[in-house]
Structure 1
Amino acid sequence: MEWMQQSAAGFTECLASPSPVPGGGGASALVGAIGIALGDMVGELTVGKKRYADSEERIKQLMQRAQELRIRLLECAEKDAQVFEPLSKAYKIPREDPQRAAVLERCLRAAAAVPLEIFDLCREAIDVEKEFAEKGSAMVISDAATGIALCCAAMQGAAVNVKVNTRLMKDREWAEKLDSHIDQELKRYTERAEWTYKEVYRRLSDG
């Protein structure tokens, strides 16, 4: 099923169902796509305004990248559902089957790869949103802050969806490499997103 072709009501109904897909990974990808779409909207409402003429070329570049990130995140929502079925089947292989461990390990890597991609896309989305918040129209600064908050939440959701797979991997060197990347970048980008959000909140509070 193409989850991203559904309405918001249809997708959330599927999300609330007993079916394991779509799940946290797909939801994170969708939230990230919504977040970066808000950044793109900030750009659309900034370009052409005399007050922001000096930043216009950079804003256009950010908009282009925001569109690319949104498309890739939506693709990841589909991919996340696709990698679940092979993993589910791998768990059903009899334990005495000599191929089980290798098949399961391969499926765990594939299942971790998609939320890892979502995680990294959301990190870049946070950087893009930060610039939208700094350079975009003050009239829509709240949308930039909302976008960065959503991208941060999506990144955090993707992080735990990597971890749920790495903890089961037998190749601990590979698993720990992924975990280390997640641990370091999650802290760094959560702080970056929170700083930007708080700065916007302060500006709005100060009037």
Structure 2
Amino acid sequence: MKELKVTEFIDKLASNDPTPGGGAAAGVTAGLGIGAILMAMIFSQSDKLSKEDQTFLAKKIEEFEKSKEIFVNIIDRDATEFEPLSKAYGMPRATDVEKQVRNEAIQSGLVIASQPPVDLISEVSQIVEGFDKVIPLIKKIIVSDVGVGLQMLRSAVQASSLNLYINGGQLKDKEKQEEYYELANNKVAELSSQLDEYYTQVKDILIK
């Protein structure tokens, strides 16, 4: 999926093919978000910054490059890790034994399919830590792209929460279900609030 042209990806998303789905779209959105932020950070590297700030910015760029790769991989993982669940839904269920085997496969598939959104939320959680120290180092001429990136990351975590709701709602493992709901309810709300705060900081720079 990640090798498709943008127009091809959108066309496949807007078709009756089972993949790509919303999870892959969230991966693309997160990838574009961190990409926009990285562009602004790289553009803002300068000898005019203090040595400490130069080192900090370079370290963050290195970290966010890894985040970008994680998001790009989620685009494909959403399809590959949905496959066991898709196959499980298609398993025979004519007998009690077949029904049991199918149900067990579905339960296993739900957990596998939920890992990409869990990982996306976890990675965004890492990105927001200390991000308030990044914003002042960005040149005003390009700081709007940081705001764009923050909004895309926010959309990606909100989208990922929906995958956890739909998968978690079918789980019989109540502990795992609560884990997903905790992420979808509380962690996503926390991240959204933090991203909104950073977005406001960017907007304040632009309107000064």
**TM-score, normalised relative to structure 1:** 0.91
**Aligned twin of 2:34:** 36
- Offset at residue 135 of structure 1 (A): 2.4
- Offset at residue 140 of structure 1 (A): 1.3
**Aligned twin of 1:111:** 113
Q: Which one-letter code corresponds to 2:119 in the other structure? A: E
Structure 2, unaligned runs of 5 or more: none
Cα separation, 1, equivalents of 2:132 and 2:66: 17
**Aligned twin of 2:123:** 121
- Offset at residue 177 of structure 1 (A): 1.8
Task: Kindly indicate whether residue 135 of structure 2 is the aligned counterpart of residue 133 of structure 1.
Answer: yes
**TM-score, normalised relative to structure 2:** 0.91
**Aligned twin of 1:79:** 77
Cα separation, 1, equivalents of 2:3 and 2:129: 28
Structure 1, unaligned runs of 5 or more: none
- Offset at residue 172 of structure 1 (A): 1.4
- Offset at residue 125 of structure 1 (A): 3.0
- Offset at residue 39 of structure 1 (A): 1.5
Partner of residue 15 from structure 1, selected from 9, 13, 19: 13
Distance 1:118 1:202, change over 3 A: same
Contact 1:80 1:111 in 2 (8 A): yes
Cα separation, 1, equivalents of 2:148 and 2:34: 10
**Aligned twin of 2:22:** 24
Cα separation, 2, equivalents of 1:192 and 1:71: 23
- Offset at residue 123 of structure 1 (A): 2.5
| Matched residue count | 204
Cα separation, 2, equivalents of 1:7 and 1:150: 20
Cα separation, 1, equivalents of 2:56 and 2:88: 47
Cα separation, 1, equivalents of 2:112 and 2:79: 11
Aligned-partner SS, 2:134:
helix
Task: Kindly indicate whether residue 189 of structure 2 is the aligned counterpart of residue 191 of structure 1.
Answer: no
**Aligned twin of 1:178:** 180
CA deviation digits over 1:97-146, x for unaligned, max 9? 12122111100100111111112122223447544323222221111111
- Offset at residue 165 of structure 1 (A): 0.4
- Percent identical among aligned pairs is 22
Aligned-partner SS, 1:5:
coil
Contact 1:123 1:155 in 2 (8 A): no
Cα separation, 1, equivalents of 2:115 and 2:8: 26
**Aligned twin of 2:54:** 56
Q: Which one-letter code corresponds to 1:79 in the other structure? A: R
Cα separation, 2, equivalents of 1:147 and 1:128: 16
Out of 48-57 and 193-202, give the one that drifted further: 48-57
Partner of residue 68 from structure 2, selected from 67, 70, 89: 70
**Aligned twin of 1:4:** 2
Aligned-partner SS, 2:40:
helix
